[in-house]
Each structure stands twice: as structure tokens, then as C-alpha cells.
Amino acid sequence: MAATHITPVILCGGSGTRLWPLSRKSYPKQFVHLMGEETLFQASARRLSGQTEALSFAAPLVLTNSDFRFIVTEQLQAVGIDPGAILIEPEGRNTAPAILAAALYAHQGNPDAVLLVAPSDHVVPDIAAFHDAVAQGLGPVGQGDLVTFGIAPTHAETAYGYLELAGQPGQGPVKLSRFVEKPDAARAQTMLDAGNYMWNAGIFLFRAADVIAAFETHAPTLMAPVSDALAQAKTDLGFLRLAPDPWAQAEDISVDYAVMERAANLSVVPFASGWSDLGGWDAVWRESDPDANGVVTSAGATAIDCHNTLLRAEGDRLEVVGIGLDNIMAIAMNDAVLVADMSRAQDVKLAVSALKDKQALQATQFPKDHRPWGWFESLVVGPRFQVKRILVHPGASLSLQSHFHRSEHWIVVEGTARVTIDDTVQLVTENQSVYIPVGSKHRMENPGKMPMVLIEVQTGSYVGEDDIVRYEDVYARG
């Protein structure tokens, strides 16, 4: 029997505020290294790739926003995965418009397309067991059902929605009775004891035609704006930008509310082999194999006489030490530190809100500003100067640009840079420097095969990132 061809749809536009300070709006949790060598996004893409006896995965269809488009391609290339289409959402409108856009796009290419929709920030250690669960879902999909995956609960969790099954979970798909909102602790314990409730993983399997029909029946007002946004989409450097005007008319709503809670043709595949959405630092602690005292530490952290504690140092020159801590999570970065009781993990988003209210950059901006060509970080900022460390990927180049208010001094510390200043082009190697006067057109490129690192010293009356005029840009930024 031939393997069923499946198109993965990976949703990766979220901001992950509950894992602040490591996860921020400018660089959310799916792209950072939370667990192991791969990012959550990379692990998700690898989990939805390859071929088994029953499944054959196509190149992934990715939905993201404009800020993350180059991060998506860079991280996929790093793990040897070539993406299919990458659809750029003009703004976040929740999961229902995103999934409908993916279904309409896939249906155009293949009316019989089978889609596996998954968030990009989940942990599923047993990939073979997950593939087996997907294979079990193909039966109901063949009957026209929309399939969701229910996670066997291990504790009375209040941070997840639940699925009430029509019967007790067995070895195969079960009809869904209803969705249940995030419960309080008492209700969560009652559902755990009942045995026929499962966590809602937010992972779906269906034919594109069937989910489009469900939208037409249960959320018809989404059809026109999403269809128009796709019809008017424009190709941009290999990405497909959905049209912003019709997209803005789409309701901001989750697929659960828009379709799943109203549809009758739903089945659930129970999954009991380990899963987490890493929805808080308490989940990271649980998934990180605490020692006999319940302690988890990173490389730069030391725990002395601590219990049930998470200590993480997110920086090469940071050391975090905890003494006598109990049920505490402490995450330190170069620009921000979080210390909280483990029981308040879901309240970390309150910290982000408080920082936004005081207009602190740490609320949303990651210390490293990731760009299509690499990244930079500010080392020192003064009233008329700024010092940055800049990394440029092999073969990459910054735009040809100029500044009205600042001059720059570049010192190469690793690799070789090809530098353009007005009509002059020169190679600058390690321990060499070059000066760029105010107003000069200039560009930096890495012609080598290794990353190039330089220190940039800016001086002038204004050193903000918006003091820039771009003349040429291979990344087509405005």
C-alpha cells in the first residue's frame, strides 16, 4: 500500500510572551534554543518531514510574518529542509484565517491535498509514535472528518484547553464530544479523574477540501477576505505576501472558535507518548529532566541547596547562582532577569505588559537584532555614540545605504569584509579597520565561507536604527 502524501502546514507567527525574557516579540520562542541543539521550529519541521511506510511528507507550507521570513528560511536550511511555499501574513489574525489561507493555497495545487497543521513551538520527543498517531488519523480523514490530536493528560493542567471524547480513549480515533475551555484547578482535576478528557494539542489533520467546506458552513464571513488576500498575493524574493487590505477585513479568531467547536465531523486521535507546548517556564522545567532535588540548571548556572528550581544563564559571560531556593525559576539575560515562584509561571505575561507600560525595550526587543544577513547587538550606548557587534553570514551583504546623522568606524575581528564606500571597494581583514563619513554611501559584504564579525562604533547626533537611506538591497526591504 502506497504511503499517503501529506503537506505539513507550520504556523510560526506567535510571540510567546510567557517565556520572557528569552522569548520576545522580535524573536519568539519557536526560534530560540530552549531545548537541545535545535530550535523548536527546526524540531517541528524535522518531525514533519521524511517518509514512513504509511506517510510521505511534502515540503512544508509555512505561515509566518514579514519580520520572521528570513529567520524561517535560514533555520530550515540549517537542518537541511527545503521549504515549500512561505506565506507572509500582513498582520496576525489568529489561527483561523491562517489555516484557511493554507488550505485554499494547497487546494489550488491539489484538490485532494491532505494537510497536517501544527504549531512550530511544541515538543514531541517520540517522533515515531507521533507518525503512528498521524497514520491512525488517516482513516477518519478518508471519511471526511476533521481530525485533532488529544494528549493524554499527566496532571490537572489549567493552562490548556481540553477535548471531551465521546468514549474512553483506546488505540484508535474516537469521536469528539465537545471542546472545553481552560479550566480552574478543581475542574481540571475532575476531568483528569474522569478519564475521557484530553489536552487539546492544536494539531489538525484533514483534507483541504473538507476544511474549506467547514469554513464555508461555519465561518462564511472569513471566506471572501482570505480568498481575496490569496488571489491578490504578490511574490517577493520567493515568499508569497498575502494582500494586506482584504486580510485586514478577516476576523481575528482561532480555528477552534471559528470552525472546530461548531463542526460535527470531528474525530480525536489520542496520543500518550509525551508532548508539551512549552507554554511557560514550568513546562520547560518539567521537560528538562530535573535531578533528584527537582533542579534544572543551564551551563552558566549553579544551584546550592535548592529544590524544584530552574536556573538559566542565557549569555556567554553570565553566571547565575541560587542558594536555598525552593520552587523558584530564575532566567538571566544580558539585558533582563526574571525571578518568580514556579506557581506563577503563567503570570510572566504580566511582566511583559508592565514593561510595555513603562516603554522598556526589553518588553519586546531581543538583545540580538536578527536580520536577513545575520545579526547585531548593541554593546554600549551613549548620548552621541553606540558600539555594536555585527555578524554577517557567508555570502551575505547589507544594503547599500547612507546616514544623515552619524559616521561609523568598522573593525573586523573575524573573517574578511568587502567594504564599499562611495566609489571605493576594498577588502578589510582581521584587525583592520575602515572609516565611513556621514552621508557616504556604503555597504558591507562577507565574501568568505565563514561568518564575518566586526565591531562598529557609531558617533553622531543621532544613532537610531531609523537613520538610514537604502539605495540597493538584495532583501527588498523598504
> CATH assignment of 368-472?
2.60.120.10
Interatomic CA distance for residues 54 and 322, integer angstroms = 49
DSSP 68: G
Q: Is 53 helix (H, G, I), strand (E, B) or coil?
A: coil
Cell numbers for 453, please give them: 564579525
- Other Cβ atoms closer than 10 A to 360: 14
The pLDDT of residue 38 is 93
- Other Cβ atoms closer than 10 A to 151: 25
Residue tagged 530552574 (cell numbers):
310
For the chain, give every residue range classified as CATH 3.90.550.10. Answer: 4-271
Helix or strand holding residue 62 (H, E): strand 61-65
Residue tagged 467547514 (cell numbers):
214
| Single-letter residue type at 453 | V
Question: Taking a C-beta distance cutoff of 8 angstroms, is the pair 266, 260 a contact?
Answer: yes
DSSP string, 320-375: EEEES-BSEEEEEESS-EEEEEGGGGGGHHHHHHHHHHTT-GGGT--SEEEETTEE
Helix or strand holding residue 269 (H, E): strand 266-271
C-alpha separations of 470 from 26, 353, 391, 402, 477 in Å: 22, 34, 20, 7, 8
Question: Taking a C-beta distance cutoff of 8 angstroms, is the pair 147, 205 a contact?
Answer: yes
The pLDDT of residue 160 is 86
The pLDDT of residue 478 is 53
Number of residues assigned to the chain:
478
C-alpha separations of 410 from 165, 370, 381, 421, 430 in Å: 62, 19, 16, 12, 11
Question: Taking a C-beta distance cutoff of 8 angstroms, is the pair 329, 285 a contact?
Answer: yes
Each of the 478 residues of the chain gets a pLDDT tens digit; together they read: 578 899 999 999 877 789 999 999 989 999 998 888 899 999 999 999 998 888 999 999 999 998 898 899 999 999 999 888 999 999 999 999 999 999 999 999 999 999 999 999 999 999 999 999 999 999 999 999 999 999 888 888 888 889 988 878 777 898 988 888 888 999 999 989 998 898 999 999 999 999 999 999 999 999 999 999 999 999 988 899 999 999 999 999 999 999 998 999 999 999 988 888 888 999 999 999 999 999 999 999 999 999 999 999 998 889 999 999 999 999 999 999 999 999 999 999 999 999 999 999 999 999 888 888 999 999 999 999 999 999 999 999 999 999 999 999 999 999 999 999 999 999 999 999 999 999 999 999 999 999 999 999 999 999 988 899 999 887 776 5
Cis peptide before 394 (omega within 30 of 0): no
- Could you tell me how far CA 199 lies from the centroid of its own chain? 21
Interatomic CA distance for residues 121 and 16, integer angstroms = 9
Question: Taking a C-beta distance cutoff of 8 angstroms, is the pair 176, 266 a contact?
Answer: yes
Burial class (CB in 10 A: 0-12, 13-18, 19+), 324: exposed
Interatomic CA distance for residues 7 and 265, integer angstroms = 21
Into which CATH architecture does domain 4-271 fall? Answer: Alpha-Beta Complex (3.90)
The pLDDT of residue 1 is 59
Question: Taking a C-beta distance cutoff of 8 angstroms, is the pair 95, 254 a contact?
Answer: yes
**Of 448, 457, 399, 458, whose CA–CA distance to 427 is shortest?**
448
Q: How do the residues of the chain divide into helix, strand and coil, expressed in percent and rounded to 5? A: 25, 35, 40
Interatomic CA distance for residues 218 and 201, integer angstroms = 21
Question: Taking a C-beta distance cutoff of 8 angstroms, is the pair 376, 391 a contact?
Answer: yes
Residue tagged 484557511 (cell numbers):
100
The pLDDT of residue 159 is 84
Q: Is 228 helix (H, G, I), strand (E, B) or coil?
A: helix
For the chain, give every residue range classified as CATH 2.60.120.10. Answer: 368-472
Interatomic CA distance for residues 303 and 286, integer angstroms = 17
Tell me how far apart the 2 most distant CA atoms of the chain are, in Å: 75
pTM of the model: 0.89
Interatomic CA distance for residues 196 and 147, integer angstroms = 17
